[in-house]
Homo-oligomer: A and B are copies of this chain.
Amino acid sequence: MPVPLVNHSEVDVLIIGAGPAGLMAANALANAGVNVRIVDKRSAMVTAGQADGISPRTIEVFQSYGIGERLLREGCQVHMAAFYNPSSTGGIERTGRAPDVTAPTARYPFELALHQGGIEAIILDSMTALGVNVERSTMPTSIELSKDEGELADPNAHPVRVTLERLDEEDGQPHPEVVHAKFVLGADGAHSWVRKMFDISMDGEQSDFIWGVVDMVPDTDFPDIRNKSLIHSNNGSCLLVPREADRIRIYMQLADKDVLNPTTGRVDKEKMGPTQLLDVAQKSIHPYKLIPTNGINWWTLYIIGQRVASNFSVKNRVFIAGDACHTHSPKAGQGMNASMNDAHNLAWKLALVIRGWADMSLLSTYESERRKYARDLIAFDKEFSTLFSGKPQTEENKDGVSHEVFLKAFQTFGGFSSGIGVHYSPSVAVADAHQSYASNLIIGERVPPHKFVRAADAWPYELQDLLPSDFRFKLLTFVGDITDASQRSKVESMVKELERPTGFLTRYSTPNTTSKTTRFDIITVGLGRKEEVDFLQYPELLRPHWSKVLIDDTDVTGSLGGQGYSYYGVGPAGAVVVVRPDGYVGAITPLERVGELDGYFDSFMKAPV
């Protein structure tokens, strides 16, 4: 028998698992020009079912990677939520409707429904165009992290060794490959192998919930069949979500006794299959009819607990993301969104460290930011689930959950479930100071959308579109009205301060070039009227290109933009706002104290060598 040949290779980042979290990370890293590989043990991508709800913030994130338009074109928008409760005549009746999204600053005030395969295809096509493909039928068999502290501290070292085996070798023999990686990301799902290999525990309640899901194209007289319907019936609660191509999905929480085999304690598919699930759905929606027109397109049962991993990283060399580090109920449609946003949070930090722009310590903010979020998510999920699964208030059950209480909770949690309200606490990447200079650009939160017009051509632009996830920090300089002599003099002083040889802008610029825009993109927002403004009057540092100067005015029709300073809470004296590569506000200073940004960047950035 021949001795198997072992190949060795090196890579900057190895991603294990090509679900939403892994793909999002691979695409983001490919976008940043990082040497990345992604493997998955499955031989093909999912084609139907599975997670499918995209929150408003996730749409913004897709847009920041240039893949938002396709997502919007292919997805089904959910604008309205309908609430149903038991009627006095039996069955259910509508208690009211309300916007599905309660987040006043959402750029996309709706959720998007698209099957997981459709979402993954969008990311895959983007990755492929960047030269990265998923290596399928490939699974890791061992993972080892160096114990050498010197190696662990050296960003150029490859301290993680992962053995990979292909499951479809033509000769049937294993041909293991040992990959030496700088960093490994375990995005390998709720039963994460990476997590288990490093003995990371999942903390949380041990009780699990059982969910049933069916997809169908219905024949129905239910008037909210194209709205998200949250149904409290005396037969149990269920959640109906409209989807693309006339399909709908119904989620039902099931009782243990209806699903589990009492002897084995495991799911008994004899007790609960598509026929029984349809029966549950039909009883819950009575008196309305619900008849699948071409059968049940997809169905599943799943058991899930509400848990968070005790750690999201091992020595900032191995990370876990997505279901690998947090599991929760599908009710708020957060699982896939949380997963993709984990990846979005981690990717730019890895890219900056690998490029030698940032210190390894920046990576610690991944766990501090995303683990806190995951814990908040579970707290939200528990509270919301309790209300949703609770018995409805009826004549007989006056202690039940009333529509008013449920609606209030639904709307209160809107900022959270939309992803818009995610807030990162102070850290090396979030400097908590001078908030009052831009009171609605909340430090630690994403920049809300607003339209401004370009000074040079009055073309209205969404500011978010000028903050792409391109791994640069954006310096939003709100300079006020530079035709005012005293303001102009303040702006000129700020420019001098920014141009100091010892200032961050000079020290962290690419050596041997005059370019200040490799790591920093300067976007200037002035006060002025489009009929009068002259973009050439702005100091040259503030207009590296003519397109970089905006003014706070409406477009020529008067219908887009305007009042942006006021919307962002910036006064006429202006402010400088640092936006992180992921679109979150990192720091704010008044013009006079722009020198304080040296401290912000010095805390994690490394000068070119």
Contacts and interface: CB of A to CB of B under 8 A. Distances in A.
Given A97-B531, A531-B96, A536-B221, A458 B555 contact: no
A16 interface: no
A80 B555 CA distance: 9
A558 B14 CA distance: 46
B80 A458 contact: yes
A380 interface: no
Interface centre among A246, A457, A460, A535, by most chain B C-beta atoms within 10 angstroms, is: A457
A97 B530 contact: yes
Contacts of A532: 97
A69 interface: yes
B221 A79 contact: no
Interface string A76-98: 01111000000000000000110
Interface string A451-479: 00110111110000000000000000000
A98 B354 CA distance: 50
Interface string A55-88: 0000000000000010000000111100000000
A459 B79 contact: yes
Given A109-B557, A531-B96, A555-B109, A77 B459 contact: yes
Interface in A539-574: 546, 555-557
Contacts of A49: none
Interface in A97-155: 97, 99-101, 109-110
Given A77-B459, A79-B459, A458-B79, A557 B223 contact: no
Interface string A235-259: 0000000100010000000000000
A122 to B, nearest CB: 15
Given A96-B531, A531-B96, A556-B101, A78 B226 contact: no
A273 B546 CA distance: 30
A142 B536 CA distance: 58
Nearest to A228: B457
Interface residues of A, number: 36
A368 to B, nearest CB: 34
Interface centre among A78, A453, A534, A557, by most chain B C-beta atoms within 10 angstroms, is: A557
A457 B80 contact: yes
A223 B246 CA distance: 53
A556 B458 contact: no
A80 B456 CA distance: 9
A162 to B, nearest CB: 40
A227 B453 CA distance: 13
A231 to B, nearest CB: 17
Interface centre among A531, A532, A546, by most chain B C-beta atoms within 10 angstroms, is: A531
A457 B69 contact: no
A242 B101 CA distance: 40
Nearest to A69: B69
Nearest to A80: B458
A221 B225 CA distance: 59
Nearest to A242: B457
Contacts of A77: 457, 459
A110 B454 CA distance: 14
A62 to B, nearest CB: 16
A555 to B, nearest CB: 6
A456 B100 contact: no
Given A79-B459, A80-B530, A109-B555, A546 B99 contact: no
Contacts of A101: 556
Given A80-B530, A530-B80, A536-B223, A99 B556 contact: yes
Given A99-B557, A226-B457, 19 more contacts: A77-B457, A77-B459, A79-B458, A80-B458, A80-B530, A97-B530, A97-B531, A97-B532, A109-B555, A110-B556, A223-B534, A223-B535, A223-B536, A225-B456, A226-B454, A226-B456, A226-B546, A242-B457, A246-B546
13 contacts: A69-B69, A78-B457, A79-B556, A80-B458, A97-B530, A97-B532, A109-B556, A109-B557, A223-B535, A226-B456, A227-B456, A227-B458, A242-B457
Interface of A: 69, 77-80, 96-97, 99-101, 109-110, 221, 223, 225-227, 242, 246, 453-454, 456-460, 530-532, 534-536, 546, 555-557
The 4 closest A-B pairs by CB, nearest first: A99-B556, A226-B457, A226-B456, A80-B458
